[in-house]
Amino acid sequence: MTVASTAADAGLPDYVARQPSGFYRSVNPGTKLAVAALEVVAAFLLPGWVGPLLVLAVVLATAAAARRLRGLGTIALTTSPIVGSILLVNLFLLPGASDPIARLGPLAPTWSGLWFGLQTVARLMAFSLAIGLVYLTTAVDDLLADLARRGLGRRAIFVVGAAVQMVPATIERAGEIVDAQRSRGMDTEGRIWRRARGVLPLAAPVVFGALAEVEERTMALEARAFSAPGRQTLLRVPADRPVHRAIRWAAILALVVIVVLRATGRLG
């Protein structure tokens, strides 16, 4: 009997019982986390270009099959400032590099710097996109439900879930505070010490506003037996098929093998 049918049999509404569908999206969140961990370790521990390029190929192929390439492109774009920095700093300033591509006045970009910079960028992209793919194909609720099923405590689940929900509301509030403080003369465009004076007028209302909810939320949780002993009943548990379990254990095993080979110097 599947988890979904169990939930349906229990009389739960469809929006609670429904499981994610589609390629990779339907894979168990824990399995996706294990695969992402393997990809991150491979990108950094496999020597030279092999690790990052292999990981990038796997991630991009999976994203294409799951129709998540556009989202992955957005994530890649957000890393462009750091990519630019890595390339520029290494291109011009790699210590010990003595193979100039050209002379640009006092600056001399080098082939070694370009090579090292590109390799670092490939590792960074492999790392970012592997994690990004998990985010794009997994609802936070599903991830938390799966972690709860695996024994993560209700306190940890509450902290992560509440934080994710709270950030957008706090951002909106911070925007309102900045607008209000600007209208009162807070300088966000002037010299650095004038901008620095805006730290307290910005930080204090954001912090005090957020803390004001702590007492109410504490009482609300206690009224709902948050501290009561015993396990919670989970209404919805993400599917964990045998093939998902097999992939998960294979990923964990591969991760351990890579780490051991690297530690013993057999990966170069």
Partner 1 sequence: MDFLMRWVRRQFTTRVIVLMPVAIAINIVLGAAVQQWLKLPIYLDSIGTILVGVLAGPLAGALTGILSNLIWGYLLPSPVGSTTIGPFAVTAGVIGLLAGLWGQFGLFRPRRSRVASVLGAVVAVVMVGALALYTYVRAYASPDQFSVNTSYAAASIDQSRAFFLAVMVVYVVLVAWALFLRRDVGAVYAIGAGLVTGIVAAIVSAPIAAVVYGGVTGGGTDAVVAAFRTGGDSLYSATLKQGLLSDPMDKMITSYVVFFIVGSLSRRFVSRFPNGDRAIADAPNDAHEASPETAAES
Q: Which of residues 142-201 bind partner 1 (CB under 8 A)?
A: 143, 155, 158-164, 166-171, 174, 178, 188, 192, 195-196, 198-200
- State the distance between the two ends of the chain, measured CA to CA, in whole angstroms: 48
As measured in angstroms, the least distance from the Cβ of 101 to partner 1 is 18
- Pairwise CA distance, residues 16 & 210, whole Å: 30
Among 11, 47, 48, 95, binds partner 1 (CB under 8 A): 95
With CB under 8 A, what is the number of residues at the site for partner 1? 74
Residue 14 engages partner 1 in binding (rule: CB under 8 A) = no
Using the Cα atoms of residue 65, residue 30, residue 133 and residue 46 in order, give the sign of their dihedral. Answer: negative
Q: How far apart are CA 253 and CA 115, in angstroms?
A: 32
Q: Which long-range contacts (CB under 8 A, 24 or more apart) does 71-74 make?
A: 71/132, 71/136, 72/129, 72/132, 72/133, 72/136
- Which residues, at least 6 apart from 164, have a Cβ–Cβ distance to it below 8 Å? 140
Q: Among 5, 78, 104, 253, which residue interacts with partner 1 (rule: CB under 8 A)?
A: 78
Verify binding: residue 210, partner 1, rule CB under 8 A. Answer: yes
Q: Binding string to partner 1 for residues 25 to 64, with x set by CB under 8 A, is what?
A: -------------------x--------------------
Angle CA(72)–CA(76)–CA(82) in degrees, nearest 5?
160
CB 207 within 8 Å of CB 170:
no
Does 225 engage in binding with partner 1 (CB under 8 A)? Answer: no
Shortest CB 6 distance to partner 1, Å: 28
Q: What tokens does 150 get?
A: 């695996």
Residue with tokens 């966000």: 188
Minimum distance from CB of 77 to partner 1 (Å)? 8
Could you tell me the smallest distance in angstroms from the CB atom of residue 195 to partner 1?
5
Q: Long-range pairs for 11-16 at CB < 8 Å and ≥24 separation?
A: 12/235, 12/236, 16/235, 16/236
Residue 124 is a binding residue for partner 1 (CB under 8 A):
yes
Residue from 54, 60, 67, 79 binding partner 1 (CB under 8 A)? 79
Distance of closest approach, residue 115 Cβ to partner 1, in angstroms: 12
- Give whichever of 65 and 204 is closer to partner 1, judged by the CB atom: 204
Among 180, 221, 256, 263, binds partner 1 (CB under 8 A): 221
Our CB check for partner 1 shows the closer of 5 and 49 to be 49
* Residue 232 lies near partner 1 (rule: CB under 8 A): no
Q: Which is nearer to partner 1, 58 or 147 (CB)?
A: 147
Question: Is the Cα torsion angle 40, 42, 45, 46 positive or negative in sign?
Answer: negative
Can residue 110 be called a binding residue for partner 1 (CB under 8 A)? no
Of 8, 116, 122, 250, the one binding partner 1 (CB under 8 A) is 116
Using the Cα atoms of residue 52, residue 249, residue 134 and residue 262 in order, give the sign of their dihedral: negative
